[in-house]
């Protein structure tokens, strides 16, 4: 497997079995929630890969229907008969865009992406249990686990223990006091409990968001470097690889 970071936030490209999978691609310079940037938005500080760079992928994988995971402008370059895998809400959005080969996934469901490459859906922790999914991609040589918000160790930890690569957030986000992305300290605890060989951070720098919702309702805390320091101090054997835009593992 070869993992490519496409942007400075949470867009990925995975090469496995000679095929390419686009994961949560958002490759425009800004996104916003209705009714506009005044409520909530995010703009790029690093120019991402172009939308055209994913036009020839062999499959699409979406973790959720949210604007920064399911961007219609980015997805417009993809052929409508591309095999796509998504949670129910994102699958509904894809079908509304005209995609015809959409598999709607639920927790513990498996699918064969390509010969020798499988996908397993893993339910996140609260409050994302019903509107997002994590995934394990597996081939004969490695397992990769992706969770973009909250790892549910108590309910599903055994299914994702000892993976080769874990991609998850390491900077906390709270909405009106409710944890929406696991904190830096919790990310270290999860790392120690699940013992992946490598952790790659995603959802970097959530504080870059702007608008009324960001200023009045969201609280972000922690940095990638904080996680690196706490992980090293914990004595965990996991290797931390903070990929930058355009870098690969």
Cβ neighbors of 149 (< 8 A, separation 6 or more) are 124, 125, 128, 132, 169, 180, 181, 182, 203
Residue 220's SS3 state is strand
Cα end-to-end distance, the chain, whole Å? 8
The pLDDT value recorded for residue 211 is: 83
Q: And the tokens for 199?
A: 């952790």
In contact, 1 and 13? CB cutoff 8 Å: no
The pLDDT value recorded for residue 17 is: 87
Cβ neighbors of 8 (< 8 A, separation 6 or more) are 44, 45, 46, 48, 204, 205, 244, 245
Q: Tens-of-pLDDT digits for all 249 residues of the chain?
A: 999 999 999 999 999 989 999 999 999 887 666 667 677 787 777 767 889 999 999 999 999 999 889 999 999 999 999 999 999 999 999 999 999 999 999 999 999 999 999 999 999 999 999 999 999 999 999 999 999 999 999 999 999 999 999 999 999 999 889 999 999 999 999 999 999 999 999 999 988 888 877 777 789 999 999 999 999 999 999 999 999 999 999
The pLDDT value recorded for residue 80 is: 98
The pLDDT value recorded for residue 111 is: 98
Domains of the chain: 2-240 (3.60.15.10)
For 114-143, write each residue's pLDDT tens digit. Answer: 999 999 999 999 999 999 999 999 999 999
What is the value of pTM for the model shown? 0.95
The pLDDT value recorded for residue 35 is: 66
Sheet bearing 19-23, strands edge to edge: 2-5, 12-16, 19-23, 59-62, 84-87, 102-105
The pLDDT value recorded for residue 34 is: 64
Any bridge partners for residue 69, and if so which?
none
Indicate the length of the chain as a whole number: 249
């Amino acid at each position: 497997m070869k993992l490519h970071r496409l942007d400075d936030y949470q867009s990925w490209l995975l090469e496995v079995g000679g095929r390419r999978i686009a994961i949560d691609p958002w490759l425009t310079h800004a996104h916003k929630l209705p009714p506009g940037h005044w409520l909530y938005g995010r703009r790029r500080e690093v120019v991402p890969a172009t939308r055209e760079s994913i036009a020839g992928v062999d499959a699409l994988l979406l973790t959720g229907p949210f604007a920064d995971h399911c961007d219609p402008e980015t997805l417009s370059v993809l052929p409508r008969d591309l095999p796509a895998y998504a949670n129910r809400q994102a699958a509904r959005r894809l079908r509304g865009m005209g995609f015809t080969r959409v598999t709607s996934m639920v927790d513990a469901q498996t699918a064969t992406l390509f010969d020798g490459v499988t996908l397993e859906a893993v339910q996140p922790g609260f409050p994302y249990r019903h509107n997002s999914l994590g995934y394990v991609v597996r081939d004969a040589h490695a397992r990769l686990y992706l969770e973009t918000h909250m790892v549910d160790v108590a309910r599903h930890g055994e299914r994702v223990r000892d993976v080769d690569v874990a991609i998850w957030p390491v900077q906390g986000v709270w909405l009106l006091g409710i944890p929406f992305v696991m904190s830096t300290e919790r990310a270290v605890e999860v790392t120690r409990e699940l013992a992946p060989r490598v952790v790659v951070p995603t959802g970097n720098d959530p504080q870059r968001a702007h608008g009324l919702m960001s200023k009045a309702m969201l609280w972000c805390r922690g940095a990638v470097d904080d996680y690196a320091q706490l992980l090293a101090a914990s004595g965990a054997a996991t290797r931390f690889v903070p990929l930058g835009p355009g870098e690969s593992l």
